[in-house]
Amino acid sequence: MNKRRLPIVFFLVLLIASGCKTVPTYEPPIEPIISPTEVNVNFRFIAYDTGITNPDDDKRCYYKIFIDKIDAGRTTIGLESQKKYFEAKLSSNMHLIVVEKWVLDEREGEYKKVNNILQPKPNFFYFETKASSLTELILINDKMVNKAQFAVTIQ
């Protein structure tokens, strides 16, 4: 090889090598975690489904929470058979909670609201909170008959 071309080739190799970058590793998106042990709360909502007989029917889901007709947030994400939590600090008063079930559409990779026919029924409940005690509201949805039951405990 000609001595004149050697510095040009060397320069081009350095230029190409400096332009190469490593491909960043794929990191899946982080889903927000709502801890079921938040401090200074007086309301806790827990929801799970029963009547699931096949693991293929146990979808990932969460519940969107509306308190007094205002979007208050959502529960943690989990399988339908697992407990999902939502906690809040509410004023001492009677409150209305309305829940919407959202299920992961695995084909599209996003959560979608469950059809109104398949939403837990009833999907609302009136409850009372007090500043000095924890009100725990549990929603147990029987997926086979699509019937929900609410249970309230005050601690």
CA distance 151 to 139: 7
* CATH number for position 113: 2.60.40
Q: Which domain holds residue 72?
A: 43-154
- Give the three-class secondary structure for 118: helix
Number of domains observed in the structure of the chain: 1
User: Of 6 and 91, which is predicted with more confidence?
Assistant: 91
Residue 55 belongs to some domain of the structure:
yes
User: Is residue 58 included in any domain, yes or no?
Assistant: yes
Summarize pLDDT for 116-136 with one digit per residue, the tens. Answer: 988 999 999 999 998 889 999
* Per-residue pLDDT, 119: 92
In a domain, 30, yes or no: no
135-142 and 43-50 beta bridge pairing: parallel
In a domain, 11, yes or no: no
Tell me whether residue 26 is in a domain: no
Look at residue 85 and tell me if it is in a domain.
yes
Q: 42-82, pLDDT tens digit by residue?
A: 899 999 999 988 888 899 999 999 999 999 999 999 999 99
- Residue 5 belongs to a domain: no
Q: Is residue 136 part of a domain?
A: yes
